[in-house]
Amino acid sequence: MNKLKTAIAACLCATVVSAWGDKKPTTERWLDPNVNRVNVEPSRASYFAYGNFKDAQGNDKKVSNLYLSAEGKWKFNFVKDHNKRPLNFQQPGYDDSKWVDFEVPGLFEIHGYGDATYKNVGYAWATQFENNPPFVEEKNNYTGSYRREFEIPASWKGSDIYFHVGSATSNLEVWVNGKFVGYSEDSKTAAEFDVTKYLVPGKKNLVAMQVMRWCDGSYLEDQDFWRLTGIAREVYFYARPKKHIDDVFVTPDLINNYRDGKLGIVVTAPKAKGCKVKMSLRDARGNVVKTAEGTIGNDGKLSASIEMENPLKWTAETPNLYTLYFTLVDGNKELEVIPQKTGFRKVEIKNSQLLVNGKPILIKGANRHEMDPDGGYVVSVERMIQDIKIMKEHNINAVRTCHYPDDPRWYELCDQYGIYITAEANIESHGMGYEDKTLAKNLSYQNAHIERNDHNVKIYKNYPAIIVWSLGNEAGYGVNFEKAYDYVRAYDPSRPIQYERAIWENGKSEIFCPMYYPYKDCEKYCAKNDPRPLIQCEYAHAMGNCGGFFKKYWDLIRKIPNYQGGYIWDFVDQGLRGFNEDGKQIFTYGGDYGRYPATDHNFNCNGFIRPDREPNPEANEYRYFMQNIWTTPVDLKKGVVEVYNEFFFRDISNVRMVWELVCEGKVLKKGVEEALNVGPHEKKQITLGGYSIPDEAKGKEVMLNVDYKLKTVEPLLDLNYSIARQQLPVSDYKFPTLAEIMPKAEKVAQGKKKVAAEKVVKEEQLACLSLQAAQTTVTFNKKTGWVDYLDINGAPAFKKGYSLVPDFWRAPTDNDYGVDLQKKFAAWKDPKMDLKKFECKEFGDAKQVVAEYDMPTVSAKLLMTYTLRPDGQLVVNEKLTTDPNAKEKPMMFRFGMQLVMPQEFSKLQYYGRGPGENYIDRHWGDRIGVYNQNVADQYWGYVRPQESGNHTDIRWWKVLSGAGTGLEFYSNIPMECSSLNYLTSDLDGGPEKMAHQMHSGDLTPRKFTVVKIQERQFGLGGIDSWSQWPEPEVQMPYGDREFTFVINPLANPAK
C-alpha cells in the first residue's frame, strides 16, 4: 500500500466495517475495497520532466530522450472467465507464441474479444448475479494478459525509471522480468509505477500486464456509458534523475480589484532537499516576464509566489496562457526542467453567483463522455480537437467531464482553446441506489471515495480551465462524500466544489446543481435567498429528435442573475460504428452485442452530435440560444437595430455584421457593418448603411437576416464563420383567406356568352367518381371515400396503392417512448374510419365531394370536403368533431393528411423554416426563407429511427420532378410539412421500443415520396426523456380540429 493510501487510512477514525458478511475474507486485491493501489506512485500534477530547457520549450515528451513509448503491438491472451487466465505468464520463459498481437492502447470488446455492454442504471453483470459489494464473479469477468519486451536505453542507467499507464479498466497488475511491480484501480486516472529496481537498462526487459473486466472498484464505476475493458490513453516509460521534483502546485489568483495577477506555488521534492528551483514565467511568445527561485527545504517543499502587474487574463473567451518553467538545480548542474501552462484567473462565489475574474459568467455547457465510435474509450488528440471545434462552432463554452477524469491532453486543449471545465471524479454507484445500500454510506468504500477525489484533484489541479471540482455523480450521499468534500476543500481552497446528490440532503455542495430541473422549479429556486448559484449539472436531455423549448431555459437564464446556465446532456451519441448483415453502416447501442445482455437500449445515444461528429438537428437550436451577440429591432422602417454583446471579457470588433433584406425569397438589399465596437455586456444602436424598403415589397413578407461573421481566422473557427445570427421580421406574410381559397358557392354569371362545356367535369361509375378541371383529374374511391388518384394532364401524381388520407400519428421519438406516448395516444395510430356518407354536389362553378366518417375508436366524427376549382386546384378541408362526453380522450401526434408521390418527384422547394428540420417547440434556430432541397436528404439519420424531417411556418410547399412538374400545397395558415422516402411505419418501433434493435443505417429508402401536410404536430419536449411531457402549449389535446389546404397541380415547370 502506497504512502498516500496509508495516510488516508490513518486519517479515518471510523471503524471499517466488513462487507463480506459471513463469507471468509479473501486476500485477493481485486475483491478488497481497501486495497486499490499497491506500489503506485502518489498522484501528482500532470507534467513531463525534460532533461533540458530546449526540449521543454515544445512540451512534446516524444522528442525527449527520457521518454520511451510502450504503445503498439503486445502479445495478448484473452479469456472469458477470470479463473481460466494463464498462470505464470509473466515469467520470462513463458511460451506466448500462440498469443495474438494486440494494440495498446486498445479495448477488448472493440477488437472482438467479449461483448460491449451498455447500462445506465445498474451494472454490466445485471443479468448474471445480484449486487453484493465488493464481490464480483469470475464468470464472464474478461481477463486480458499482455507481454512485451522493451530495450530500455542504456543512458537511463542511474536514473529512476517509471512506467505510465494512462487508463486501465477495471484494474491493472504489472510485472517486470517476472517480478510483481504493482496493482491499480480507478480506471480513469493514470497509474505510474517505479520500475527502477526491476529493469536492466541497455538490455531487453519483459513487461507483463493483466487487466480484468470487473473488480471491487467496478461498484464505483456504474457510469451511463459503454462498459468496455482494456487499456486506453497513453502508455510509456520515462526516466528521472535521482534528485527530482515530485510535484508542483500552481494556484492562480487575481488581486487589486482583479487587475493584477498572482501565482501561488508549492514544489514538492523530498528527494532533492537543498537543491534550488529556478522559476521562469514566459508569455505566449516565449518572453520571460517574471522569475523567482528558492531552495527545497528540509521538509522536502518549496513555497513561493509570483506577482505580475496587469497580466493577460485567462477565460474561455480569452484563453491567454503563460508557461511556468521549473528548473531543478543541484550546485551548478541543471537536473531537469518541468513546463507547466498556467493562466491568471480567479474563481469565486459571491452574491449567489459563480464569478470568473469578477464576472458572473454564463455556463453554456455540455457533458462529454470520452467516447469514439471506432476506438471506444481510446480517443485521439485529433478527435479531441474536433470535439472542441464543434463546441466552439455551437457556442459551447464549458464542459463537464462526465463522470470521470479525462485524458490530460483534453484539459490541455481546453486550456489552449478556452473551455471552462467542471472536473468530475471517477465515482458513480448508481446501481446501488441512493438509500441505505448506497456506497456513500458504506465505510468499506470510504478510502476509495477519498482516493478517487485525490487522484482527480492532484493530477489536474494546474489546469486553469478547471473552475469547479465535482465529487462524483449519482452515487447517493453519506459520510464518504462528506469526507471527500473535506479532503478536496482542504487541498484546494481556490475552486468551488459541487455534487448533485448533496443538494437534496442538505449536504456539502457550493453550487446548486440539479439535473433536469423543470422551468418552474428553476424560477422557484432562484426566488429563494440561497447563497448557491443555480447551474444545472445536466439539463435539456438531447436524446433522438428533441430540443423542445430550449428557449425557455435561456429566457430564464438571461432574466435571473443567480441562474447561470447548465450542461446539456450530452455532447455526443455513444453509438459504436458497426455494420449490419447487409454490410450497411450502423451505429450500435445497448443490446446489439451478445446474448441476454444487460442493457438500457439506446439510452446512451443522447448527444446533440452524432457518433461520427455530425451535428444532430437540435444542435442548431442550441447554437442559436447560446450565441453571444443579439440584435433587437429599433426602427426597421429606417434600418435601426440595437446590438448587444453578451461576451463578458471581449468586445466584438473581431466580427462584421452582414445583413440582407429579403422579400419572400428575393434579396432586396444587403450590406456590411464593419465597425462593431461594442464592449463586453454593452449595447449599441446601429443604422444599417444603404438600408431601405423598396416599393416592390409593399404588401409582402420582408425579413432582415443578420449574421455576425469573423473578420479573421480564430482558433478552430474559419474566416467568415457566423458566430451569431438572427432573423428580424419587417412585415408579415399575407396568407390567402378562406374566402380567397374557396370558389364562390354561386355560379359565375356568363352574361350573353354561351358556355361550351362545364368548367369542372364529373364522371362516375360504381367503383369511383372522377372530377376533371383544367389539367387536373381527381379520382375518388366510392367505397372508402378517399382520393386514390390525382393526375396532371393524364400523368399520375399519386403513387398507385396510396391514397390521400388523414394522418394523426408519427413515428414515436425517444422522448415519446420515455413517457409512453406511443401507448397513451395509440387510439390515433390507425383509428377505424367508417364511411357513412359520400356525395358529390355543385359548388358554383366548382364541384365538391363530401365524405362523412364515424370514428368509434376515438369517439369522433370526421368530415372530409374536397372542392375542385375550375382552375384545377383542389381545396381539402379536414374537420374533426369529438365527443366532449367521451370516456377516453387521448391526445394525438398530428392533425393533417398524407399522400404518396411517385419516385420521380424527388425535389423540394418550399417557403418556410429551414434549412434543417424543425418543430413547433424547436424552430427558432431556423430561418424563414425559400429553400431548394432533395427529398432524399430530408430524413436525418438518428441512431435509432424515429420522426424526422418536419418543417414549420410553411407558406407553400412544392414537391417536384426534375422537370419542375409536381404538386404545390398552401393554406390560409402557416402549415407544417415534410416529404420523406419513408412511410411512418418504416420509422415506428411499435408499442414496445426495447423489443426492436432498430438503426437508421438499416433503413432502405422507399422508391416514392411520402408527403405530409398538416395543421401542426405535437411538440418534441426538451427537459428529459423519461418523465416530462412537452409543454402544454405544444400538446394536441383531444378536441375539435379543422384544417384547410390547397393542392395545386403544376403541369408546367414550377418557378
Please give the positions annotated as active site.
474, 538
**What is the DSSP track for 354-423?**
EEETTB---EEEEE----BTTTBT---HHHHHHHHHHHHHTT--EEE-TTS---HHHHHHHHHHT-EEEE
Taking each helix axis from N to C terminus, what angle separates 446-460 and 3-11, rounded to the nearest 10 degrees?
Answer: 130
**CB-based burial, 130-157: b 16+ in 10 Å, e otherwise:** ebebbbbebebbbbbbbbbebebbeebe
C-alpha cell at 1017: 404536430
Cα separation of 824 and 890, whole Å?
Answer: 7
Q: Distances in Å between the alpha carbon of 319 and those of 252, 343, 465, 470, 706?
A: 14, 8, 9, 22, 28
**What is the DSSP track for 28-84?**
-GGG-TT--EESBPPP--S---BSSHHHHHHT-GGGSTTEEE--EEEEEEEESSGGG
CB-based contacts of 991, cutoff 8 Å, min separation 6: 822, 823, 826
Cα separation of 1020 and 545, whole Å?
Answer: 7
Please name which of 981, 1046, 987, 977 lies closest in space to residue 1010, comparing C-alpha atoms.
Answer: 981
Taking each helix axis from N to C terminus, what angle separates 519-527 and 550-559, rounded to the nearest 10 degrees?
Answer: 10
| Dihedral in degrees, nearest 10, Cα atoms 421, 422, 426, 431 | -130
Question: End-to-end alpha-carbon separation of the chain, Å?
Answer: 79
Q: Going along 135-213, which residue ranges are E strands?
A: 143-151, 160-169, 172-176, 179-184, 191-194, 204-212
Cα separation of 941 and 617, whole Å?
Answer: 10
Q: Going along 926-1025, which residue ranges are E strands?
A: 927-934, 951-960, 966-980, 1008-1017
Cα separation of 148 and 71, whole Å?
Answer: 10
Find out whether 422 and 404 touch, Cβ atoms under 8 Å. Answer: no
Q: Which residues pair with 174 in a beta bridge?
A: 182, 209
Please name which of 43, 16, 80 lies closest in space to residue 184, comparing C-alpha atoms.
Answer: 43
Taking each helix axis from N to C terminus, what angle separates 550-559 and 618-625, rounded to the nearest 10 degrees?
Answer: 10
Find out whether 914 and 931 touch, Cβ atoms under 8 Å. Answer: yes
Residue type, 759: K
Collapsing DSSP states into helix, strand and coil, what is residue 946?
Answer: coil
Find out whether 1012 and 975 touch, Cβ atoms under 8 Å. Answer: no
| H/E run at residue 987 | helix 984-987
Grid-cell match 391526445, residue found: 891
Please name which of 197, 199, 202, 195 lies closest in space to residue 154, comparing C-alpha atoms.
Answer: 202
Please name which of 967, 913, 902, 909 lies closest in space to residue 934, comparing C-alpha atoms.
Answer: 909
Find out whether 617 and 938 touch, Cβ atoms under 8 Å. Answer: no
| H/E run at residue 576 | strand 576-579
Apex 334 CA angle, 329 and 336, nearest 5? 95
**Backbone phi, then psi, for 701, in 5-degree steps?**
-80, 130
